[in-house]
Chain A
Amino acid sequence: MTAMTGQQIVEAALAASTADGAVAYVVDSSEANLRWASNSLTTNGAMRSRQVVVISFVDGGAGMAAGTVARTGTPDVAELVAASEQAARDAGPAQDAVPLIGPGDPMAPVSTGDWDADPATTSIEVFGDVAPALGQAFGEAGGRDELLFGFAEHQMSTTWLGTSTGLRLRHDQPTGRVELNGKSRDFGRSVWAGVGTRDFTDVSIEALAADVQRKMAWSQRRVDLPAGRYETLLPPSAVSDLMIYAYWTMEARDADEGRNVYARPGGGNRIGDRICGLPLTLRSDPAEPGLECAPFQVVGGSSGAASVFDNGMATPATDWISGGVLTNLVRPRAWALQQTAPAVAALDNIVLSDPGATATTEEMIAATQRGLLLTTLWYIREVDPQTLLLTGLTRDGVFLVEDGEVTGAVNNFRFNESPVSLLGRATQASVIERTLPREWNDWFTRAAMPMLRVPDFNMSSVSPAS
């Protein structure tokens, strides 16, 4: 694609650096996507990009400072390095300054990837089987006077990260997702099915379409219910969107400073507290089968949750909640040093499980006398950070379960609930399955979740939307 390879750019940037330390990384990415509405294509695309990022570290006497400059395409590497050094000189000393990680550092990752290999790529051909299957599904849906909407996307990115301390790390990340939304022609009934994938070889459009068709059949009978607290079955997708928010908030520094839901009244954080009624484990693992993600950190700009000084830091398997007890919070190395606590990096997947769970989602539905079965959640926003109270909507399928069977589709609701409170109140979890978050899948697609039973989920008001 370009004259210089990603590896060469990283080496050239590090060689051009005159700073006290430097990190350079290149991300080569490619993507293909198809989008459709009302049984027909709307947009599509095949895109390639290259991002080149240089972070310089300069000690002006008062402490180490950092500056980040990022460019796409084929930037002049020397200019990029000079600009990042100037940015560091202008930034002032960093609060999160610690020595960069090098090979042999206990924080360096064990697996470094195949540095020299060509970048991984994708193209529109990844949909060679998907596109005709979609065309077939459109025809069948049209035959039932139903409409299909949705999106399929495949991305490949290769990251090469180098540091002036000698780290050379490479990671290839495939990310895929497909969503299928079925509606009646008047848009009055609406249901959804979706799945995450690494390569689309495991995606069955037929299976997704069958799931949509089943839920459309469930929606034939309409039941209007008022706002209130209901026994509710949250399926894996809905659980994932709530858990992702709980996970994104797991910042040790905010907790230690008394400013998030994991803060302990009186000072400190709630690590060690039992926060779940069930013996649940919430964990991330770069080697989780089907959900593999980078085994090291890549950070362009520091925040309370990550530090540019921690670039290349290993991201080993981590339990955030273990046996129902809060076990870890995300803690960059500088804050770890200050608090005499372990440095812990965030990862790009999460798994929530109850080790003792044996019921499938179908069995949980069958064991429900009267309750609501949700499909997905939407427009989730933070209302009160102190309790992590979130608001949002149910979307594309609220089903009434009576005597173990779905008996109709209920109107949508606005909910006000905290995921941390829900963890405390859930009374049953199913076995886990890979799922696609609905709300957050632009940023987070790698999740495996159980269905949760919550005896008193707060449906705050009715939404007339369908």
Chain B
Amino acid sequence: MAQLRSVDESFLALPLSALTDAALTRAVDLGCEHADIRVERIRTQTIRLRDARVEAAADGEDLGLAVRVVHEGTWGFAAGVVLTAAEAVRLAEEAVAVARVSAALNTDRVELAPEPAYPDAEWVSAYDVDPFEVPEAEKTGLMVELSEQLLAADGVEHVQSDVMHVKECKYYADTAGTRTRQQRVRIHPTFTALTVDRVTGGFESMRTLAPPAGRGWEYLTGTGWDWRGELAEIPEHLREKTKAPSVEPGRYDLVVDPSNLFLTIHESIGHATELDRALGYEAAYAGTSFATVDKLGSLQYGSSLMNVTGDRTAEHGLSTIGWDDEGVAGQQWDIVSDGVLVGYQVDRNMARLRGMDRSNGCAFADSAGHVPVQRMANVSLQPAPDGPSTEEIISGVERGIYVVGDKSWSIDMQRYNFQFTGQRFYRIEGGKLAGQVKDVAYQATTTDFWGSMSRVGGPQTYVLGGAFNCGKAQPGQVAPVSHGCPSALFEGTTILNTVQEGGQ
């Protein structure tokens, strides 16, 4: 699978060096301690189908440039979409003007943790087929065919399907001498079957579990996921869910499949260990974190079986990259070791504030039009080296529920109290699956939940899940991120009946 790809010629043909010289020279002339320029071209295509017919086919490209400066200890940022040297100079001047207006609010002097310079560096993500080189008719044709297969099944009344694929080309240069060129590709197809009971007015749905991946079009044609196999099973899963009894609320031992657990990791570990949240930078919006810096090295986050890493390096990971938007190289590090909080995700200014030697490379903007902020690495729960299979975990549970697939999610602003639903829930009785139940949500407090983790699956259960739509910052930014995890057992988790919750 090793790729010898290079960044698209059409991107490299942009006047990157001329823009860099113009912007950085002007910034230095205006007295900036630091300046960087970022040029990004993000191509996005979405094909959306309703009942196996194309509802929308949209192809977008966002191309722009941004200049960020540190001027007299204050950040300044300006962005535009015209790629000329004159505009680069104007943006450098505007960034300094923004810094000057903002100085009235600033009491913390910005300084950046050191990072080696990378004067001529290139990185391309691992994919086989660039989705933007596949003919449109071939792409829509495959989506229609797969959707028709699902719609033709007994009991499936409607099918909602879509595929979104993205190609990012990014150039970064700064006054320390770094010049990086990068390209990455990602794809997220989903298929949802729906059935309606006209008499009762009830309806149920069942969605594919296939995660979004840092792969190309080959993902939909069989590399990394068996689409036809999963689509063939969806109608029966849906039929069983429709007939399933409503869950009895109470406490259950929960076996959580990676297709669901990745999102619980995202919300209760990923966001909680972002240092900008712990320091309060997101306090008015995304929120803060219970995992405050005074607890680093002592907070018992979960059971001793819990080992969590952050990385920018996992193959096919959605937040895997060569260098971040401050020129820091991708790394892997520990966040939770043997259940104890040991690390955060940081950027260069925060790394310096915390006295760290170096940033771990988590500064990203979602486009040229936005300023870099600390964004989430691939935050992953490590499997137990000789750990059990999912079936073995289930076989040890007397009365429990097996949770598969993500659906609804919500967590509070300090990352304590969460509630999740899923695609399907199975009762476990006497160590065996005993059919689906419906109307299920699980609710817990983060440290209680991870503290109750009493079995962790082996590498054979490990799946790299993820999402395209992680939101953070004001103005709002959206980032893709992956989370790998094994299956795991959580004892005595609160299960709600969502129909009873609604008071119906």
Contact = CB atoms under 8 A, between A and B. Distances in A.
Interface of A: 1-2, 31-50, 65-75, 83-84, 86-96, 124-125, 127-128, 131-132, 134-135, 138, 147, 149-151, 153, 179-181, 183, 187, 190, 192, 257-259, 263-267, 300-304, 308, 378-387, 389, 391-393, 395, 412, 414, 416-418, 421, 442, 456, 458, 460-466
Contacts of A380: 410
Given A378-B412, A381-B410, A74 B81 contact: yes
Nearest to A133: B104
Given A41-B74, A41-B75, A45-B371, A263 B201 contact: yes
Contacts of A135: 104-105
Contacts of B106: 40-41
Nearest to B197: A258
B200 interface: yes
A302 B410 CA distance: 28
Nearest to A393: B412
B199 A131 contact: no
Contact of B105 (A41, A45, A93, A442): A41
B470 interface: no
Interface stretch (B223-231, B277-285, B326-334, B394-402): B277-285
29 contacts: A1-B80, A33-B474, A36-B105, A37-B280, A38-B280, A41-B106, A42-B75, A44-B99, A44-B102, A45-B77, A47-B78, A47-B369, A47-B370, A67-B57, A73-B82, A87-B57, A91-B57, A124-B101, A135-B105, A147-B280, A187-B283, A259-B196, A308-B56, A384-B439, A384-B502, A414-B443, A416-B501, A458-B503, A460-B501
Nearest to B44: A70
Contacts of B53: 92-93, 95
B79 interface: yes
From B201, B410, B494, B504, residue with most partner A Cβ within 10 Å: B410
Contacts of B494: 461
Given A46-B94, A149-B280, A387-B504, A90 B57 contact: yes
A461 B501 CA distance: 11
Interface stretch (B59-67, B111-119, B175-183, B314-322): B59-67
A259 B57 CA distance: 23
A21 to B, nearest CB: 16
Nearest to B292: A187
Contacts of B467: none
A94 B412 contact: no
Given A70-B61, A301-B55, 19 more contacts: A37-B281, A37-B283, A41-B75, A44-B76, A45-B77, A87-B57, A90-B140, A153-B475, A181-B284, A301-B58, A302-B55, A379-B412, A384-B498, A391-B410, A391-B441, A393-B410, A393-B413, A460-B443, A461-B417
A389 B502 contact: yes
B296 interface: no
Contacts of A84: 59
B443 A43 contact: no
Contacts of B370: 45, 47
Contacts of B59: 67-70, 83-84, 87
B79 A48 contact: yes
Contacts, number: 309
Contacts of A378: 287, 412-413
A258 B280 contact: no
Contact of A49 (B48, B81, B140, B144): B81
Nearest to A30: B80
B417 A391 contact: no
Given A33-B475, A134-B104, A91 B140 contact: yes
B503 A464 contact: no
Contact of A43 (B107, B373, B415): B373
A379 B410 contact: yes
Interface in B364-409: 369-371, 373, 408-409
Interface in B1-58: 46, 48, 50, 53-58
Contact of B58 (A93, A147, A300): A300
B136 interface: yes
A461 B76 CA distance: 43
Given A92-B144, A257-B196, A383-B501, A463 B74 contact: no
A464 B414 contact: yes
Contacts of A384: 439, 498-499, 502
A44 B100 CA distance: 11
B205 to A, nearest CB: 8
Contacts of A89: 137
B97 interface: yes
Given A384-B439, A464-B445, A303 B48 contact: yes
A383 B421 contact: yes
A49 B283 contact: no
Nearest to A466: B414
B58 A72 contact: no
A43 B284 contact: no
Given A393-B410, A460-B443, A386 B475 contact: no
B62 A72 contact: yes
B77 A90 contact: no
B161 interface: no
B416 A464 contact: yes
B447 to A, nearest CB: 10
Contact of B54 (A33, A45, A73, A92): A92
Contacts of B413: 378-379, 393, 395, 465
Contact of B136 (A31, A36, A86, A456): A86
A100 to B, nearest CB: 17
A192 B413 CA distance: 13
A90 B499 contact: no
Interface string B180-208: 00000000000000101111111100000
A390 B54 CA distance: 30
B154 interface: no
Contact of B408 (A34, A93, A259, A381): A381
Interface in B448-504: 471, 473-476, 494, 496, 498-499, 501-504
